Amino acid sequence: MTKVITIINHKGGTGKTTTTINLGKALQLKNYRVLLIDFDPQANLSQSLGQFQPESSIYASIIENKPLHIISIAENFSLIPAELNLAEAESKLLTHPEGYYRLKSVLDPTRESYDFILIDCPPSLALLTFNACFASTHVLIPVQSQFLATQGLHTIIDLLKTVQTGFINPNLRLLGLFLTMTERTVLSQSIAESLGKEYGKKLLNTVIRKNIALAECPAVGQDIFTYAPHSNGATDYQKLAEEVLTRLELDSK
């Protein structure tokens, strides 16, 4: 069954977009069929894959009922891009009869063509993020290894509970939280320890180290495995993919 993983954190700059691309690519390299969805009006995911002015985007599908605009980036690695107009979708969805589950509706017919669909969310917990959660089977939360970065995580967990409650999407699972941009500092270490205490097994073992190649690759429109296959960034995202696969396997038992 297709796993739809939403990558959320209402803070900006926590590594959501970087994770969507590179976790997605790591899964494609393991021979899974992967679709990425840019669901952030800033369109960083699309731009990071060289898509600056796509002919159409996710907005056209959810608001104008147009067919999904799926761009093939590589074999088994596709993207539905976003554009700035996605910002207008928030208010339009408010009055749409399918407001909260519009993304789910438009994805359902194509869902089974992929093993993994990864959704890159905006830095907010508003209607777009709700739509992503309703369309998903799992949620993954990147946490930046920085002072105060762990503040507000409860808000995300509360949102998950809201979505899981009742008939909305009771099957949504928290796949886990993981640290990004870690450094070999006392601060990084103490953030990891406090997250571990608070979230226990929900904190993944994998950490994504701060790595300059990860920050460079969007500028050339590439994923880390193409741009710098021997970098720490490539090693860490490969580990993340392996841990995600192990957890999904355990989850289904």
Ligand X SMILES: Nc1ncnc2c1ncn2[C@@H]1O[C@H](COP(=O)(O)OP(=O)(O)O)[C@@H](O)[C@H]1O
Q: Which residues bind Mg ion (CB under 5 A)?
A: 16-17, 44
Strand partners, 208: 180
Q: Which of 132, 218, 227, 247 binds ligand X (CB under 6 A)?
A: 218
**Which 71-130 positions form the footprint of ligand X (CB under 6 A)?**
123
Q: Is 215 in the site for ligand X (CB under 6 A)?
A: yes
Torsion of CA 42, 35, 166, 12, to 10 degrees: -30
Tokens of 108: 């359902």
Alpha carbon distances (Å) from 219 to 28, 121, 165, 224: 21, 20, 41, 11
CA atoms within 13 A on the CB side of 250: 11
- Find where tokens 């407001």 sit: 99
**Which of Mg ion, ligand X, none sits in contact with 25, Cβ below 5 to 8 A by type?**
none
Instruction: State the Rg of the chain over Cα.
Output: 17
> Total binding residues for ligand X by CB under 6 A?
17
Q: Is 14 in the site for ligand X (CB under 6 A)?
A: yes
- Find where tokens 């105060």 sit: 148
Give the β-pairing of 116-120 and 34-38: parallel
Pick the stretch among 62-70, 190-198, 207-215, 239-247 that binds ligand X (CB under 6 A): 207-215
Q: How far is the CB of 108 from ligand X (least distance, A)?
A: 26
Q: How far is the CB of 105 from ligand X (least distance, A)?
A: 25
CA atoms within 13 A on the CB side of 134: 21
In the bound state with ligand X, the residue whose beta carbon lies nearer, of 11 and 138, is 11
Q: Is 220 in the site for ligand X (CB under 6 A)?
A: no
Contact letters (x/-) for ligand X, 16-55, by CB under 6 A? xxx-------------------------x-----------
Question: What is the largest distance, in Å, between two alpha-carbon atoms of the chain?
Answer: 51
Angle at 13 between CA 179 and CA 196, to 5 degrees: 20
**Which of Mg ion, ligand X, none sits in contact with 126, Cβ below 5 to 8 A by type?**
none
Q: Is 169 in the site for ligand X (CB under 6 A)?
A: no
Q: Is 181 in the site for ligand X (CB under 6 A)?
A: yes
For ligand X, the binding residues (CB under 6 A) are 12-18, 44, 123, 180-181, 208, 210-211, 214-215, 218
